[in-house]
Amino acid sequence: MKLDEIFPKNRMSLNEIDKTVYARDASEYEGLCKAVVWPKTAEEVHQLVHYARRANDRLTIRGAGTSSFGGCVPADSIVVDMSKMNKIIEVGKDYVIVESGMVVDDLNKELKKVKKFFPIVPLESEVCTIGGMLATNCLGLETYYGKMQDWILEIKVVDGTAKVLDLSPVPARSFIGTEGVMGIVCRVKLKVLAKPIMKTVSIFKFNTLRVMLEKVNELENDENVLEIYYLDEFCSNLLELGGEMHLIVELKDESGLIKNKDEINSLNEMKKTLQHILINKRYGQKEDVKIPMEAMSKFLFWLRKNNVPSFAYLKLGIVHPCFRDYSNLPKEMYQIVKRLEGELKGDYPMGIKRKEFIPKNVQEQLAVLKNQFDPARIFNRGVLID
Ligand SMILES: Cc1cc2nc3c(=O)[nH]c(=O)nc-3n(C[C@H](O)[C@H](O)[C@H](O)COP(=O)(O)OP(=O)(O)OC[C@H]3O[C@@H](n4cnc5c(N)ncnc54)[C@H](O)[C@@H]3O)c2cc1C
């Protein structure tokens, strides 16, 4: 079968404008897009993989394209835009089955009607797809709900040998967080909740880093603390909170000063707004690193010395330093992170940008999986592994 026999005219494009648009994602990288297709069914995805094998073509999988590390940048590939596979298939008592192009906020709007919700809500939830979230194994804003991997019950995936696999959580792990290099996820069964964890919030302000870190140490020993969200002075100022450092502490008991649900929700909205303001101020190069708590003060001092705006999820040790688009500082920061025995990956993907920093043992595991699921190297060429 040829490509135009698999897809009708309105769901396949060789148009130069489409090829230009799909040559990029939210990162600074640009690749070569050969064509764009918009599958609507798992069967079309299956035929597409068969086609790619026969024609020796490459496929780059795309959800909403918010990957800021180059995960959706094609390498002379056909871009597979999953956004039209966006239906809810079934809602059960404590699960939902969705197509992988479903946008997470749309899913939650539908689940709200039956008094349920899916708790992994990343910053870009208005557009992020379940497939992209699964492939990057992302966290949500409410980090204490864990990662995507904790909520997956089953997936349907087409691998690079054109096998359609229905996988339970353990075998599905090969496709979770591996950034689309093993196969195209078509359908996902997710756990859902009826009630959110009830929480209260307290906000603290600090003028010195030392005093702020003393408070963090104290909070870390409090078993009621769900998350400790840090804003440096720069980010606090952007949010019009004043010029001090802030800790926004989420607690699972009644001890937080803010108890009103709407007020608590507005804090989440504020976190979403922050990164858009940072992008507008040209601090668009957001990194995410994981720093051991004992090295946190050294790392935060380095960021402040170099005037790098940052915010962090301190309970997890994940820091998001935000660089100017034209800055050379990120490379210097990578060295600092290594010296402090931190990790260059907090919770965002490695994509193209950070793949050289993947530890050797992980690279070897990925190579084994790639040989098993995609020996012809069809998917996401250049992403994660070479
Ligand atoms: C401003 C900004 C903020 C962000 N905030 C966060 C955050 O808070 N937490 C976080 O973890 N990440 C964050 N990210 C990174 C990224 O947006 C998320 O990981 C998101 O989950 C990706 O969803 P998406 O639909 O845009 O996926 P895409 O960007 O389209 O794809 C991401 C990766 O998944 C693969 N993929 C997509 N769909 C499928 C599928 N159906 N089958 C197989 N592979 C697939 C793609 O090939 C790509 O490698 C952020 C990015 C930006 C630009």
Q: With 90 as the cut, is the pLDDT of residue 92 above it?
A: yes
**C-alpha Rg value of the chain to the nearest Å:** 21
- pLDDT the model gives residue 350: 84
Q: Of ligand 1's atoms, which has the minimum distance to the CA of residue 71?
A: 49
Mean pLDDT score, 360-383: 94
Give tens-digit pLDDT for 104-159.
999 999 999 999 999 999 988 999 999 999 999 999 999 999 999 999 999 999 99
Going by the DSSP 8-state scheme, the letter that residue 9 receives in this structure is G
Specify the length of the chain in residues: 386
Nearest C-alpha neighbor of 197 from the set 217, 170, 221, 227: 227
Ligand 1 contacts CB of residue 129 (under 6 A): yes
pLDDT of residue 328: 79
- Candidate of 24, 87, 138, 141 to mutate for ligand 1, largest count of ligand atoms within 8 Å of Cβ: 138
Q: Are 297 and 354 in contact (CB under 8 A)?
A: no
H or E element at residue 250? strand 245-251
Q: In what order do the strands lie in the sheet with 152-159?
A: 88-91, 95-99, 183-191, 152-159, 164-167
Please, which residues have CB within 8 angstroms of residue 192's CB and are 6 or more apart in sequence?
91, 94, 95, 96, 111, 116, 117, 118
Q: Which pLDDT value is given to residue 326?
A: 63
Give how far Cα 30 sits from Cα of 11, 329, 365, Å: 23, 22, 28
Between residues 13 and 68, the one the model is more confident about: 13
State in Å: Cα 134 to ligand 1 middle: 8
Q: Are strands 12-13 and 32-37 parallel, antiparallel or unpaired?
A: antiparallel
Q: Which of 79, 5, 70 is nearest to 35 (CA)?
A: 79
- When pLDDT is averaged across residues 352-372 and rounded to a whole number, the result is 90
How far is ligand 1, taken at its centre, from the CA of residue 264, in Å? Answer: 26
Q: Is 227 in the pocket of ligand 1 (CB under 6 A)?
A: no
pLDDT tens-digit readout, 208-250: 999 999 999 999 999 999 999 999 999 999 999 998 999 999 9
Sign of torsion, CA 360 363 369 374? negative
DSSP 168-221: -HHHHTTTSSSTTSSEEEEEEEEE-BSSPPP-EEEEEEES-HHHHHHHHHHHHT
Please choose from 21, 66, 84, 155 the residue to mutate so as to test ligand 1's pocket, defined by most ligand atoms within 8 A of CB.
66
Residue 131: CB within 6 Å of ligand 1? yes
Between 52-56, 70-74, 246-250, 382-386, the lowest mean confidence (pLDDT) is in 382-386
In this prediction the pTM is 0.93
Q: What is the CATH number of domain 3-82?
A: 3.30.43.10
CB 43 within 8 A of CB 50: no
What confidence category does residue 285 fall into, taking pLDDT thresholds of 50, 70 and 90? confident
**Tokens 């640009």 identify what position?**
30
Query: Relative to the CA of 133, which ligand 1 atom is closest?
Result: 21
Tell me the fold of 84-195: 3.30.465
Question: Does 349 have pLDDT greater than 80?
Answer: no
d(CA 355, CA 104): 27
80 neighbors 46 (Cβ within 8 angstroms): no
Q: Give the CA distances from residue 164 to residues 63, 131, 298, 372, in Å, rounded to whole numbers and listed in that order.
A: 20, 16, 49, 14
Query: Hey, where are the domains in the chain?
Result: 3-82, 84-195, 200-339
- Cβ neighbors of 116 (< 8 A, separation 6 or more) are 91, 96, 192, 193, 194
What separation in Å is there between the alpha carbon of 66 and the centre of ligand 1? 5
> What pLDDT digit, counting tens, does each position of 316-344 carry?
999 999 998 666 788 889 899 999 999 88
Distance CA 151, CA 381 (A): 28
71 lines ligand 1 (CB under 6 A): yes
